[in-house]
Amino acid sequence: MSKIRIAVSGTYSTGKTTTSYALSYLTGIPRTHAQTMREILPVINPGKRLEDCTPPELYELGIRRLTERTRCEALLDGNFISDGSALHEWVYGKARLKVGLNPNEKGLKKIHSRIRLLPYTIPMSIFINDYEKLVKLHTKRSYDLFIHLPIEFPIAQDGHRPVNENFRRYSNDYLINTLHELGIPYIIAGGSIEDRLLTVIKYLGITPRMPVKEAVALAMYETSKRNSVEIEYNKSLK
């Protein structure tokens, strides 16, 4: 098939990483990704947790991630499957400002978290508007198709994701609404990973390079390796 730039979309714990690995194995289209914020954070703010970051620090992480994502995508000459997209960094920051720096906090801690946001409200709103224009322009120019994964699985209880179901619903809706706004084609691929893969290859009209179960097994192995690194870092903060 001709070259195509695909973004695997979805909010936290929807299986983007595993699905993107499996789809790459199945189709032979190169996979690309940006380092996660949890991978970037130890470099620029050693010993700090995501939930302790200020809004400017969160957006610094997002911009660094966007820069790396753009560089990695450009190296693949217009043919790739991206784990996430340029939209995801922007939506993540916007959702954190909407639902709180740490959505899992309750009671007085939640009130304190809201108070922490107040000094940043006006200056960050100005920045976000300009950042939004940049991200949408890049997204419109850089992807031919989004494969959106709906919220079907519970949040991974790994101790290093400062998110909750409200955060996920808000992020999911924002992603879908933005795709409509930009007019970018997308398909929703739900069900098991096998079901998702079958939906995508049918849509693309691609003949698989290997059995679906084999592609999933390889993807699960790759994902487990990445998760183990993040878990070890999270343990080091305790």
Domains observed in the chain: 5-236 (3.40.50.300)
* pTM of the entire predicted model: 0.82
Query: What are the Cα distances from residue 44, in Å, to 47, 83, 84, 163, 201?
Result: 10, 23, 22, 22, 39
The residues that bridge with 6 in the sheet, in sequence order, are 81, 145
d(CA 193, CA 228): 21
Instruction: pLDDT tens for the chain, 238 residues: list them.
Output: 678 999 999 998 899 999 999 999 999 999 998 877 777 877 877 877 777 777 778 778 888 888 888 999 999 988 999 999 989 888 887 777 776 655 555 666 665 666 666 666 666 667 777 888 889 999 999 999 999 999 997 776 554 555 678 888 889 999 999 999 999 999 999 999 999 999 999 999 999 999 999 999 999 999 888 765 454 444 444 4
